[in-house]
């Protein structure tokens, strides 16, 4: 009896999109307003999906309190109220697009889950834009 | 031309999470606040997904009025404004976690749909916690 | 420069609506499904509105961390994952309708705020039903 | 590194559901209120999902400004503030159910995307009814 | 102890904005896309606010089941799945803007409520546009 | 016949809360995480409320296209994808709390509206925190 469980969390961060191998003109053309050198920011809404068997003793796929703690430790403390470009190791050399943030968060949470679980990350950058990894 | 259609419904219920084969101390440790012997409750938001071919005569996968009636009869009348542990047959011997509620609802609706349809249940227990069955 | 600030919180609780001075038949007629003797429950969404002058030193009407702490201590610890009828002093002799819950929460928070602040409570019992006190 | 990106848009339109090969009585029985000959209408919420590899130069699956322009040109200009039955070529001979609208929108956007992308359309007709194509 | 209670409902309707005393060119200039002679439509979200004293016997301001019945009879049956311009008496000679629809709904519900109640109507025409009457 | 109309808009911005007359220790104590010197950010959701008489010729309080243009020119171009502290004149010497941003936006829009209109600004900084000016 495989079931998927979802848990939400939120963090607020500043970022800037630019590729340091490109000149300013090309960064402007590709990233537009998102290339503002003084940064802009978002309320990121994170949805973590874990798929696994329902434990007949508890009726749970996973204890959501444990999942909540993993998200807090690996994602919220690391990224909440931070500048993704300046304050984090993960985006020193990686452009902090929603796509890349989702891939990074997947790696950070994946290491805490046993092999019996599948993991997927959904990340809303705004109410209108969302990404999902893996597909 | 297979299309998925989704229909939402809501019900409000009380429940308590505990395993009657465990002592109080273990129930407390595993289920925490959800083990309150006097019960607590939720506004459950149910989303029923049905996948099938579009009928060229109607442009419908399934008549949503028929699906709405099935949900009303099998889910809302049975669970709305009820105590899942005390008032229902389904959770006399099954812990009413969101996972188990979704599996039970799947069985109740499945019997009314022909084999040409696939069925999936999504169930929000709170705005932040959701489950999905089957995966 | 008076500004209103709003802060949201959530709690999940079981309740039952009945008037102990009435017989069962009248309780049934007035409260219908909400009179289930085994209780049902809700995800209550609470919105606390505080009106006051903006402090020119901080740009704040009130430190929302302080307001969050008041809500946590006075409302969430008291009511979250509780049976309002059985587990709380406040509803031993008061019917736990949304109206009465809002009035009670207003009293619990009011005592922590100085006279320079106005306070209003909004309480969603479901997505479709909400109350507000005072008007 | 395949990632899914989602982009939202909205349009408001009038429509009527009826099958011109059927008599009035059968249209009434099958489509009920939706068969009103004077039309009714909806705020359609469209979610476009595009799956592809993340470009290591940009961190993007697809430039969302480009996707937004495709949606505007192919969907919003064509359907927003229109009567789907009377004002559009697409629904002259096709019943404008949510299922059929999703299939049509899929075709209109698909032609603008390279083969490296997968495309899925989600369409909310109301907050409670949604369709998805392909499944 | 005055409390405000809110109840939500939904209806889907077609409409067209135009002033029959103006020529086509002026209607076009003032109402733009909303002047489409073949109509367009919306999912209207209605919120009915009733203010009154809490009844100490019930803990209710008003029985929401009664309010729900009034809304159903006076608003939903009249306007749901209708063309406001063609199918209703109320908008034969009144432009069906959100403002006017709210004023009309206020009159329809007001007559069913005793003088001890204040009534306010909120009406969302889209997620982004809302009106409120009286102020 | 006075009616209130509401119009929504969104902008994404970076900011930092600190008082330049205070030392670092006091800024840290008062503003906590919001004092991050590298900035963090938000998706601000703006709701503009305009109250006025319904024009009997149009059925409108105000042409929402005109209001939308004012919001775009005065708020979105000025603040969207900006660093409020570094990129704007308005917050060079004013702490960009939600309270102060709402007061500033009120002034920017107020000048475009005739005296027959009342104006109120609501600003969500996150889904859980909102401010309103004037009260």
What is the reported pLDDT for A60?
Answer: 98
pLDDT tens digits, residue range D49-63? 999 999 999 999 999
CB atoms within 10 A of CB E57: 12
CB atoms within 10 A of CB C43: 24
What is the reported pLDDT for F126?
Answer: 97
* Number of CB pairs, chain C paired with chain E, less than 8 A apart: 58
Give all domains of chain B, ordered by start, each with its CATH number. Answer: 2-133 (3.30.479.10)
What is the reported pLDDT for C52?
Answer: 98
Contacts of D among chains (3+ CB pairs under 8 A): A, B, E
**pLDDT level of residue D108 (50, 70, 90 thresholds):** very high
Distance CA E97, CA F87 (A): 39
* Number of CB pairs, chain B paired with chain D, less than 8 A apart: 59
Q: Is A108 helix (H, G, I), strand (E, B) or coil?
A: helix
Burial of E133 (0-12, 13-18, 19+ CB in 10 A): buried
**pLDDT level of residue A129 (50, 70, 90 thresholds):** very high
What is the reported pLDDT for D46?
Answer: 98
Is F125 known to be catalytic?
yes
Alpha-carbon separation of residue A66 from A54, A61, A70, A117 (angstroms)? 16, 11, 6, 14
Residues in chain B within 8 Å Cβ distance of C34: 81
Q: Do chains D and F touch (3 or more CB pairs under 8 A)?
A: no
Q: Please give the ipTM for the structure prediction.
A: 0.95
Which mean pLDDT values do the consecutive 10-residue runs of chain E (135 residues) have? 97 98 97 97 98 98 96 98 98 97 98 98 97 98
What is the reported pLDDT for D57?
Answer: 97
pLDDT tens digits, residue range C2-61? 999 999 999 999 999 999 999 999 999 999 999 999 999 999 999 999 999 999 999 999
Q: DSSP state, B76?
A: I
Do A28 and F3 meet the contact criterion of CB atoms below 8 Å apart? no
* Mean pLDDT confidence for A74-96: 98
**pLDDT level of residue B55 (50, 70, 90 thresholds):** very high
**pLDDT level of residue D10 (50, 70, 90 thresholds):** very high
Alpha-carbon separation of residue F33 from A57, A74, F26, F76 (angstroms)? 41, 17, 13, 26
What is the reported pLDDT for A53?
Answer: 98
What is the reported pLDDT for B38?
Answer: 97
What is the reported pLDDT for B46?
Answer: 98
Is E34 known to be catalytic?
yes
Q: Give ∠ CA B80-B86-B88 in degrees, rounded to 5.
A: 55
Give residue for tokens 């009293």.
C107
Q: What are phi and psi of F116, to 5 degrees?
A: -70, -10
pLDDT tens digits, residue range D26-37? 999 999 999 999
Distance CA C106, CA F27 (A): 31
pLDDT tens digits, residue range B38-47? 999 999 999 9
Question: What would the two tokens of residue F9 be?
Answer: 């808009």
pLDDT tens digits, residue range F10-64? 999 999 999 999 999 999 999 999 999 999 999 999 999 999 999 999 999 999 9
Catalytic residue among A25, A28, A34, A90: A34
pLDDT tens digits, residue range C53-103? 999 999 999 999 999 999 999 999 999 999 999 999 999 999 999 999 999
Q: Do E36 and D87 touch (CB under 8 A)?
A: yes
Q: Do A83 and F34 touch (CB under 8 A)?
A: no
Q: Is B63 helix (H, G, I), strand (E, B) or coil?
A: coil
Can you list the alpha helix ranges (DSSP code H) found in chain E? 24-31, 64-71, 77-79, 84-87, 98-110
pLDDT tens digits, residue range C50-59? 999 999 999 9
Dihedral over Cα of F95, F101, F102, F105: its sign: positive
Nearest to E62 by CA among E74, E73, E49: E49
CB atoms within 10 A of CB E24: 10
Q: Do C54 and F99 touch (CB under 8 A)?
A: yes
What is the reported pLDDT for A97?
Answer: 98
In a mutational test of the D interface, the residue from B51, B59, B67, B76 whose CB has the highest number of chain D CBs within 10 Å is B59
Give residue for tokens 């073949």.
E38
**pLDDT level of residue D39 (50, 70, 90 thresholds):** very high
Residues in chain D within 8 Å Cβ distance of A106: none
**pLDDT level of residue A36 (50, 70, 90 thresholds):** very high
């Amino acid at each position: 009896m495989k079931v998927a469980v979802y848990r939400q969390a939120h963090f607020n961060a500043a970022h800037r999109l630019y590729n340091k191998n490109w000149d300013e003109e090309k960064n402007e053309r590709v990233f537009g307003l998102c290339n503002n050198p003084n940064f802009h920011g978002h309320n990121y809404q994170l949805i973590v999906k874990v798929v696994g068997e329902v434990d007949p003793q508890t009726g749970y796929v996973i204890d959501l309190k444990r999942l909540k703690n993993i998200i807090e430790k690996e994602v919220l403390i690391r990224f909440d109220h931070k500048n993704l470009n300046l304050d984090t190791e993960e985006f020193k050399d990686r452009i902090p697009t929603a796509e890349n943030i989702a891939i990074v968060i997947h790696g950070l949470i994946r290491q805490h889950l046993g092999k019996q679980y599948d993991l997927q990350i959904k990340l809303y950058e705004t109410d209108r834009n969302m990404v999902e990894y893996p597909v």
